[in-house]
Every structure is written in C-alpha cells, then in structure tokens.
A and B are shown apart, each in its own frame.
Chain A
C-alpha cells in the first residue's frame, strides 16, 4: 500500500512531534534523530533542515534561510526540503 505523494504548502509550519528529538551525541559522531525504538543519522543537509523545524518557521522561510546560507538556487532548495519533509512525515517523524 503506497499513499499518494503528499503536497506540502509553502506556508506550512513543520515541527518535530513529541517523542521525536534531534540530539547531539559526540560519542556517536554528531546529530542523531531519535524516535520510539528508532535511531536515524541524518546527513548534513537534513540536519540543517531539521534544526529549523521549530514549529515557528514556514517551509518558505526555511528555504529562504538555506538558499542564502549556501548560496544555492531557492527553487531547488525548496524542492529538496519538501522531499525530505514529506518522507519524514510519512514515517511519523515530523508534523506539518
């Protein structure tokens, strides 16, 4: 059973739900995303996106910030962010 790809609005506000935490573990080599009985090691780009999923910033604002910080094309950044957020939401690791 595969759900249809979700559409994410530019003004939706992503946040980590209760029970999902982004934690720095120097002993495990950096940031890890922790959920019930699960541990994920996000790549550096995912970490930058996750850090900004604070329940305040919109998807659009996160794209602005990252496009500026990495001097990258905004449309491309926005598309990458939506792909990541969609896959995290499917795993119940993110609320939109």
Chain B
C-alpha cells in the first residue's frame, strides 16, 4: 500500500485513545493541549467502538486508553470491553485517582490486559503538590495494591523533573514494593503545559547526569525483578528522539473530540489539516489525511537531515519540537547536534527559575 506522496505506507501498531481531557489532577507537565476538548464534544460509546474495530482491522495491536483520566468516562467498562473484543491489547493509563475498587474490578472483567499508574514523587506531600491534588499519593498507592490483588500486570510511570529527579531510587523502590513488573522513568518533554512550566521543571545538568547513573545502577540492582525503561531528557541530548517511531509510521492518536493526530502534540503545528473519525474511517485517515502525509518518509526534509546517515533512524527528530523552538516545522529538531539551532537548546535549558507552577486546569 502506498501513501499519497509515494512513500511506503506502514501499518500502525499502536493507538493512543484519549477518551477525555477531564482529569482530577492538575500536573504542570500534562501532555494534553492548552485548549482542552470540552465534555460535550467527546465521542460517544458507539463511535469509540467503531474506532477500535477499525483500528484492529488496520493492523493496530495495542490500544493505550488514556486521557485526561479515562475513568472519568462513565462508559469506561463498555469501552474497555469494546477494545478487547476488537480485538486489541488494552492498556489503561490512569492517574489512579477517582478509580474505585468496583470500577477496576469491572475493567478486569471487561478484559483489561495491563494497567499503568502515574506517581509524582516518593514523598506524599511533594507528590500531592506536583499533582495539585491533596491525597492523590495515597489513592494511587491504594489502586496499585488493588491492581496487584486482582492479578493485573502493573507499570508505574514517573515523570521526572527538577523537584523529584533526586528521588528516582526511592520511586523505583516504591514500585518494587508494590510488585510492579515495570517502571517507566520519563524526563519531562516540553510541549503544552510542560512548555509553559519549562523554567520551573528543568533539571540541572548535574541532576541529569546523576539520574542517568542512578538508573544504570538500579537496572543492575533490580535485574530480573522489575524492568526499568527510561526516557532521556531531550534538552541535554546530542541526538534527537525518533518521535513516535516516525511520523505516520507506527502509531496514531485520537483526541476526545475525534480528531486523529500522528502524535499527541501535533496540533501545535499550524496549517496541518487533521481529519476526524466523525467524517472518515481510520483507514482513510491513516492513508490520505493531509496531516499524516505532511512529514511521512524523507521527502519533506531539509539539510542537514536530507543527507544525514540517521535520517531513517530518527526521522529528523520531533516535528512539534522543531516548530515550537524555531517556528519552522521542517527544520531539524534543535536537539540534534547537527541542527542549525542546536545552541538554542542549551540556552533554554539554562533558564531555571523557582516560580510557582502554572497548573493544568
């Protein structure tokens, strides 16, 4: 199958289903856009069911049921069931707040395969401060214990930044104590709300170096007990990340209102035309939507990407980051040491101020 621009069209493997932007938490690094989809524009149960079926037919194997807090949807059990029956491997990405034992049991019965719970810190007061929700820490731990009691595999997700990166070891210990099979340690990526809070979240160079050493040591210490996956801090890297495994190559994202994006931040790039599942099938969108074809393959690239040896490995890095930092979505991701604007990244990383968070509301 070929895409409109003559590139080979790959089949997507993963679908990020953002069921709702509603969330009890207010984390200052939230990956949702600054303009949240309101509740009255959310897709209904029948439309999501069709999206899951179309995704499976298109080749998608895993659905990441996310938000906002996906359990804010009253029909969450029906939606998990629909995804399971599609058939898709169902991964619930939850804040862990507002998810009762009855609800998680209903999701278990609906065929849920895996749960991912975020924690903000190993110290309750700091965790609640970061989440902007008093009592969040204890509720998350309670849900994690219930998930383990049911026998569901659990991943703990930790977003690290200046306020908590010195406690990576304690957070990993906490995940081990909960008997989680996997922990994901992700440095903040600066889009949306995180970009707004960049100066307050940015870790120091020393913190980043310590974090890398700590993760290596913990991997050795906990080998065979817990899998530790780590996402490196962009602004301190030399090579850009192959964002979403290449634009329109491996995954797609459906917003609460039904717009289909190559990645969750893609709407920041102006003049991209996104199609909606309300008007098109997922297969039509994957193949023909202008937004998906905008940065597929390598034809869109400029130098130094166009002739770079790594162009098929990192695909020029992240298009959203290129746009957000330079105003040009076609330029090399400035994180790359070969990018014309690379010096800008170090300058921006050096701006660190302890001002209060702008919470996501």
Contacts and interface: CB of A to CB of B under 8 A. Distances in A.
A and B physically associate = yes
Interface of A: 1, 3, 17-19, 21, 23, 25, 27-28, 32, 34, 36-37, 39, 92
B148 to A, nearest CB: 11
B143 to A, nearest CB: 17
B153 A25 contact: no
Contact of B61 (A1, A3, A28, A36): A28
B57 A36 contact: no
For the complex of A and B, the 4 pairs showing the least CB-CB separation, nearest first, are A19-B153, A27-B59, A34-B89, A36-B114
Nearest to B84: A21
A39 B113 CA distance: 13
Given A3-B224, A21-B89, A37 B61 contact: no
A27 B11 contact: yes
B152 interface: yes
A39 B224 contact: no
A18 B59 contact: no
B346 interface: no
Contacts of A28: 11, 13, 59, 61
Given A1-B223, A28-B61, A36 B56 contact: no
A17 B152 CA distance: 9
A18 B56 contact: no
Interface in B146-199: 151-153, 155, 181-182
B57 A27 contact: yes
Interface string B27-56: 000000000000000000000000000001
B152 A18 contact: yes
Given A1-B223, A19-B113, 13 more contacts: A19-B114, A19-B152, A21-B89, A23-B89, A25-B56, A25-B61, A34-B62, A34-B89, A34-B113, A36-B114, A36-B155, A37-B62, A39-B62
A32 B57 CA distance: 14
A92 B59 CA distance: 25
Interface string B198-210: 0000000000000
A5 B302 CA distance: 51
Interface of B: 11, 13, 56-59, 61-62, 87, 89, 91, 113-114, 151-153, 155, 181-182, 220, 223-224, 229
Contacts of A1: 220, 223-224
B61 A34 contact: yes
29 contacts: A1-B224, A3-B224, A17-B153, A18-B151, A18-B152, A19-B114, A21-B87, A21-B89, A21-B113, A23-B61, A23-B87, A23-B89, A25-B61, A27-B11, A27-B56, A27-B57, A27-B59, A28-B11, A28-B61, A32-B61, A36-B91, A36-B114, A36-B153, A36-B155, A36-B181, A37-B91, A37-B229, A39-B13, A92-B181
A37 B220 CA distance: 21
B58 A27 contact: yes
Given A19-B113, A19-B152, A19-B153, A37 B59 contact: no
A36 B182 contact: yes
A19 B223 CA distance: 21
B59 A25 contact: yes
A28 B87 CA distance: 13
A1 B222 CA distance: 11
A28 to B, nearest CB: 5
A35 to B, nearest CB: 8
Interface centre among B61, B152, B224, by most chain A C-beta atoms within 10 angstroms, is B61
A27 B181 CA distance: 30
Contacts of A23: 61, 87, 89
B181 A39 contact: no
